[in-house]
């Protein structure tokens, strides 16, 4: 399963109203570190299919949501549960750091 595309328009439906935790990768096409973590985000989407929803939000096209959550540098990955931000990763980090945060939310 591939990450879903999250936009200003579908954010509430896909993230806030989700019945499972959601990871949102705030990224942009021109961002080198964003491209570095892209394969990790795709792996997480497959690894946690059915348990965690994984999405990508292009900050250039969806500035309202980026501003709402104070995203100032990318990549920023926000971990939502029950529509609320539970954790954050900023920058390119190893996959294990993402896994640790997911396990913590699912616990």
Check if 34 is active-site: yes
| Two structure tokens written together for 89 | 């990763």
**Is there a contact between 85 and 78 (Cβ–Cβ < 8 Å)?**
yes
> Which residue in 15, 24, 34, 45 is the catalytic one?
34
How many residues make up the chain in this entry? 107
**Active-site residue, selected from the candidate residues 23, 31, 54, 78:** 31
Classify 29 as helix, strand or coil.
coil
The yes-or-no answer on residue 38 being catalytic is no
Q: How far apart are CA 68 and CA 16, in angstroms?
A: 13
Catalytic residues, by residue number, are: 31, 34
């Amino acid at each position: 399963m591939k990450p879903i595309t999250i936009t200003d328009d579908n954010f509430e439906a896909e993230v806030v109203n989700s019945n499972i935790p959601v990871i949102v990768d705030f990224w942009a096409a021109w961002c080198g570190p964003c491209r570095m973590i892209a394969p990790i985000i795709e792996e997480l989407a497959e690894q946690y299919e059915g348990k965690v929803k994984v999405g990508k939000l292009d900050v250039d096209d969806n500035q309202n949501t980026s501003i709402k959550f104070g995203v100032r540098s990318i990549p920023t990955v926000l971990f939502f549960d029950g529509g609320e931000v539970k954790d954050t990763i900023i920058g390119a980090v190893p996959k294990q750091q993402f896994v640790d945060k997911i396990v913590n939310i699912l616990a």
